[in-house]
Amino acid sequence: MLLSTGALLLTLLLPEAAFISWGWRIPFLFSAVLVAIGLIGRARLTETAEFASYRRGMVWSIFRYAAASRKSRRLAA
């Protein structure tokens, strides 16, 4: 919220020529900062044991499905 307010103020305070040439990029730069903060925060979080075991199970079930479908295609051919 603070970044969007700051971007709005910066774009309102810029002269029109400066806004048209480079000022319209300011909100996008602020959003890049927010994306970086979100990615860093997400990378530092650890998964719960329940979700980690669920995800491991999903990976193996995907492999099993792929192997079974490949095997059935070979048998059908």
**Same domain for 41 and 28:** yes
**Same domain for 54 and 70:** yes
User: Residues 6 or more apart from 60 whose CB is under 8 A from it?
Assistant: none
pLDDT at 39: 95
* Domain that includes residue 76, residue range: 46-77
Residue located via tokens 């730069």: 29
**Same domain for 1 and 35:** yes
* Chain mean pLDDT for the chain: 80
**Same domain for 52 and 41:** no
pTM of the model: 0.51
**Same domain for 41 and 9:** yes
| pLDDT higher than threshold 60 for residue 76 | no
Query: 25-59: per-residue pLDDT in tens?
Result: 888 888 898 899 999 999 998 888 887 777 777 76
**Same domain for 76 and 52:** yes
More confident residue, 64 or 14: 14
Give the C-alpha distances (Å, rounded to integers) separating 68 from 12, 22, 30, 39, 76. 60, 55, 48, 36, 12
Q: How many distinct structural domains can be found in the chain? A: 2
Q: Label residue 62 exposed, middle or buried (CB < 10 Å: 0-12, 13-18, 19+).
A: exposed
Rounded distance between C-alpha atoms, residue 57 and residue 49, angstroms:
12
**Same domain for 55 and 25:** no
